[in-house]
A and B are shown apart, each in its own frame.
Chain A
Amino acid sequence: MNIKLLRDLWRQRLQSLAITMIVACGVASQITSFSLISTLRSAMQDYYDAARFPDLFVHLDATPLSQARRLNSISGVNAIQARLVLDGPLQISKDLNDTATATMIAVPAEYEGGINRLVVRQGASLPELSRHQVIVSEVFAEARNLRLGEELQVTILGQRHDVTVAGIAISPEYLFQIREGAGVPDNRRFAVIWMRYADLSEFANLSGLYNDVLLTLNNRVPIEFVKEHVARSFSTRSNLNILERSAQVSHRYTTNAVSQLYAIAIVPPAIFLAVASFLIYIATSRLVRIERESIAMQRAFGYSSFGVGNHYFLYVMIVVLSGCVLGILWGIVLANQAITIYNEIYRFPSLPLCISKWSLAISIVASSLAGVLGGAYSVWSVVSIPPALGLRPEPPASYRLTWYDQLAACFNLRPIPRMVLRGLGRWPLRTMLGVMGIALGIGVMVLGSYTQGAIAYIIDFEFFFTRRYDVMVQFAPNTSIHAIDEVQRLPGVIHSEPFESGRFSIRCGHRYRTVTVMGIPQKNSMLKPVTQDLRPIQLHCHGIAISYSLAEALHADLGTTIELSSLAGERMVKELPTECLVTDYTGLNAYVDLDDFRNWFCQQRSVGGVYLQVDSNYLQTLTDALEQRPNVQAVTIKNAALENFIRNDSKNLLLFRLFNMLFSAVIGVGAVYSIASISLLERQRDLALLRVLGYSAAETGRVLMGELLVMSLLAIPVGCLTGYWFAAIATWMLNSETQRIPLLIQPSAYGSSVLVSLAACLISACVIQRRVNRLDCIAQLNGKD
């Protein structure tokens, strides 16, 4: 029996290899994703523990340091760190033309080294800094090729200060470095720098004050209790914003990335194993039919049903478990490659690959199950036939004239096309499964291609359709409204449009989120949020427009009243009806009319920012001029942000696309080849007959090619529909509050998938044709396999 097993494996090697590869793809996808999940989660946990990452983040107006200590007495608080955090423009001496925005952090000596510790990669640590020396974040240093000793200029309150890079570090707070409210990371233009408290407080005239405090908590007291007491402690302070760790921007993005990985860990493996199971069913059912007599003979010799069935069970297990082992090894290699990409995006002290033991066990169990489910029925149906019955030659397959024979007669079809049609019609379930196999290949390819099209759509939508400005200027708080006219007069400015923005806590019932609310003019032209049918939103009755995703997070709908609490300046609360739902793809966004915003939340005669349309020839001159202005806090050039989006998002979704494109090729060729190969096995007697009668090898091959062609044509619409549903599932699983992917499949995604599938059919057809050419006609007609 063992020799027969080896012989069967060798005889079916290509077909078995196709199934093995499909199993390997599914397992590799699962191993990679689960390994990345456990790697990221354990690295994050270790990093947070070692650096004592805070549980609560509090931002407020400048407050005397002496008042921070009383937070220590709140029950449940383990440790605190009070600090100064300010934003301002940053220039690099060697590259003055490319200005960045920096978040500057200074921790008083008494709080240094306690919680939220930095990991210094190069140079000095915080206590080792001398006067006017700073530590810069690693991603920014890499993006700008900064070295120790380089000169920087920070602008605070309109004054430029020279500082020197003395260290390069990472922080758990900026594990994923992105500016709050930015939507996409921009490592070239957003820096985090840490400096001595004495320096920053001197630059900002805030000596003895702090405006940010971090707290670590113990588990004994509910976090809500602590938040309530913190809020009470600062009840007299304005600008209070208390965030839990889950709302902290870097943590939020990182955990969202982990959630996205679950989608890759579940959907593709399930699809691949389902396809493998189906192909095993087809392969074993045809194999045992062909070996019907041999099986009966083995049983007649005294082998039990179980013994004979066990032979096929072992065959199936060898095929699937080889795929499983290959998939595990492949998954580990892919996970290692993925970690290199993740290391560029997320900054951990170290990111060692952590193979999930559970995923190994799940892979083995799932692939075995796929094999058993696929092979069990067909094997049992043959081994259960009594030997006496099985030893008789199988009677010719019974056919009947049906409706498609009348159709064939109408078209006066020749015998070979009739053989094709009857072969397909005789076993409709098998044909349907064959069509489904090819359709699944197309579906997986549609899934692989659609993300690329979806990202192109997001880019077009977010950067050209919604944001029509070239430059966004954010002013320092309380900047006079006259700043708009001053900016308008700068060289290269074609058109300007003011806006307001502020951080708000938006609440609906017990649900709330912290978001940036934009105040935009009614007749806006540079920022055009749109509704689902892509019409610009209309804001006119003191209402608010919010993203669909925000509405979903708050369980709000059109007309629902939501509460806005300002987190900057004087604490103000406003209840507004939801007037419009906005379609967008990054972040959580909310919009109110500019005049309403100013009336409710701003000091009169002040402006928050301005959108500019500029002559591209003057872009650099204008940027320089803007940086010189003391009231300018940040300048965002849309095209630079776009480049960053493409770079970063490509990396984020690269893995997903890579998996799908690679795997879809395997599934395409694997499924088509398996089906064609099994068909050859079953029809080889007919094919041998045709060859003997005088049909050429190419004419003979048409029986199989015709079958493959009909199944492929039927599979095209089914595959496109399957691809749409795969994409819908992936969209649902990948969508998060920070990023959403539209369920928009470009015609080119369908087109390329169908073409690739047809190419897979063609390649399989060529291989099968070669086998037809080499068919041993004599052996076939004498009834030998």
Chain B
Amino acid sequence: MMPSDVQYRLEGVSKAFHLDGVEVQALRSIDLTIQQGELIVFLGPSGSGKSTLLNLLGGLDRPSSGMVYYGAMDLSNADDRTLTRFRREKLGFVFQSYNLASSLTAAENVRLATDLVSDPLPADQALRLVGMQDRTNHFPSQLSGGEQQRVAIARAIAKRPEVLLCDEPTGALDIQTGIRVLSVIQQIHHEFRPTVVIITHNSVIGKIADRVCYVSDGRVNRIETNQEQLSASELQW
């Protein structure tokens, strides 16, 4: 399906960090739009600035200069309360290291997200969507890496988010498990049509995206549009 409305608009976005008096330029004058319902992959090596970009898109950080818009909402100048509400209502996050609360079961981890919104997917349904319906009462320590990541995806989608932000979702997984996780993300994208942003250093993953943004040295060097997207199960690396 072709994207329609603009979800994110980045205008001249730069981000610099000051570490022990040394300025590190993580992003340099990025101009970019992300369409609603698009599956976009940011591809780049470690330290290229793609995680910083994801943090800006997720309202976890503010740019040093430039503007980040979510629809009409200005994220670059929003206060902490507005950004919290933005994350609560609009976003779902998936991390490389899963970041499940170790003291909560799979179902409770999902409920952690569903408690935040008024019309969530029931936790059971969210877990069923990722094939984890038989492991609802298991704690993270009783789950494999792939299972933990699928629970993390269930948690992210249970809010029915407008945007799913995935930070190296397969980075800590073996190939087979990684493909399984990507399949789940792809399936969710097809079924619920959220905007999906994946950042990765694995170029193969770009083949499932609508567009691939190549990031290096804090810049988006190139954007490629895939005329045809592969299914995650067709990927090999």
On A, residues with C-beta under 8 Å from B are 395-401, 414-416, 418-419, 422-423, 426, 685-686, 689-697, 777-778, 781-783
Contacts of B236 in A (CB 8 A): none
B100, chain A: closest CB distance, angstroms: 7
9 A-B interface contacts by CB (under 8 A):
A396-B140, A398-B141, A414-B111, A416-B112, A418-B104, A418-B108, A426-B103, A689-B99, A692-B87
- In this complex, the member of B61, B112, B115 whose beta carbon has the largest number of chain A beta carbons within 10 angstroms is B112
Distance of B76 from chain A, by nearest CB (Å):
17
Complex interface: chain A residues within 8 A of B104 (CB): 415, 418-419, 422
| Contacting pair B97 A415 (CB below 8 A) | no
Report B-chain residues with C-beta under 8 Å of the C-beta of A415.
101, 104, 108-109, 111-112, 115
Determine if A689 and B101 form an interchain contact, defined as CB atoms under 8 angstroms apart. Answer: yes
Contact B84 A418 (CB under 8 A): no
**CB nearest neighbor in A for B117:** A694
A-contact 0/1 string along B172-212, CB 8 Å cutoff: 00000000000000000000000000000000000000000
Q: Which of B55, B85, B97, B102 has the most CB of A within 10 A?
A: B102
Q: Does B220 contact A (CB under 8 A)?
A: no
Q: Nearest Cβ in chain A — how far from B162, in angstroms?
A: 13
Q: How far is the CA of A176 from the CA of B51 in the complex (A)?
A: 78
Q: How many A-B residue pairs have CB under 8 A?
A: 83
Number of B interface residues, CB 8 Å?
Answer: 36
Known A-B contacts A397-B141, A418-B108, A696-B84; the reply to A783 vs B97 at CB < 8 A is: yes
CB of A690 within 8 A of CB of B112, answer: yes
A112 to B113, CA, bound (A): 94
- Chain B's closest residue to A696 (CB) is B84
- Are the CB atoms of B58 and A692 closer together than 8 Å? yes
A781 contacts B112, CB within 8 Å?
A: no
Binding-face segment, B37-45, B66-74, B88-96: B88-96
Partner of B116, one of A396, A693, A697, A783: A693
B60 lies within 8 A of chain A by Cβ: yes
Chain A residue at minimal CB-CB distance from B107: A415
Q: Are B88 and A693 in contact (CB under 8 A)?
A: yes
| Residues of B with C-beta under 8 A to A399 | 102-103, 139, 141
State A562–B139 Cα separation when bound (angstroms).
75
* Chain B interface residues toward A at CB < 8 A: 51, 55, 58, 60-61, 80-81, 84-85, 87-89, 91, 93, 95, 97, 99-105, 108-109, 111-113, 115-116, 137, 139-142, 155
Could you tell me the distance between the alpha carbons of A528 and B105 in the complex, rounded to whole angstroms?
Answer: 69
Chain A interface main SS type: helix
**A-side contacts of B139, CB under 8 Å:** 396, 398-400
- Chain B residues with CB under 8 Å of A783's CB are 97
Cβ contacts under 8 Å, A416 to chain B:
112
Chain A residues, Cβ within 8 Å of B88: 693-695
Contact yes or no, A401 B141, CB < 8 A: no
Contact A397 B102 (CB under 8 A): yes
By beta carbon, the residue of chain B nearest A688 is: B99
Inter-chain contact A778/B61, CB cutoff 8 Å: yes
Collect the chain A residues with CB atoms within 8 Å of residue B155's CB: 693
Q: Note all chain B residues with C-beta closer than 8 A to A691.
A: 84
Assess whether A692 is in contact with B111, with CB atoms less than 8 Å apart: no
Inter-chain contacts of A419 with B (CB < 8 A): 101, 103-104
- The answer, among B81, B112, B137, for a CB contact under 8 Å with A693, is B112
Beta-carbon contact of A396 and B87 below 8 Å: no
CA A691 to CA B142, docked complex, whole Å: 25
Chain A residues with CB under 8 Å of B51's CB are 782
Q: Which A residues are CB-close (under 8 A) to B95? A: 781
CA distance A782 to B54 in the complex (A): 13
Report the minimum CB–CB distance from A412 to chain B (whole Å): 11
Write the chain B residue with the least CB distance to A421. Answer: B103
Query: How many whole Å from B105's CB to the nearest CB in chain A?
Result: 8
Cross-chain contact A423 with B112 (CB below 8 angstroms)? no
Given known pairs A398-B141, A422-B103, the reply for A694 and B97 (CB within 8 Å) is no
The 5 closest A-B pairs by CB, nearest first: A694-B88, A396-B102, A422-B103, A398-B141, A694-B87
Complex CA distance for A422 and B141, rounded to whole angstroms: 14
Task: Give the shortest distance, in Å, between A770 (CB) and chain B (any CB).
Answer: 13
Contact B108 A777 (CB under 8 A): no
What residues of B have a CB within 8 angstroms of the CB of A694 in the complex?
Answer: 84-85, 87-89, 91, 113, 116
Cβ-defined contact, B140 with A692, below 8 A: no
- In the complex, residue of chain A having the shortest beta-carbon distance to the beta carbon of B85: A694
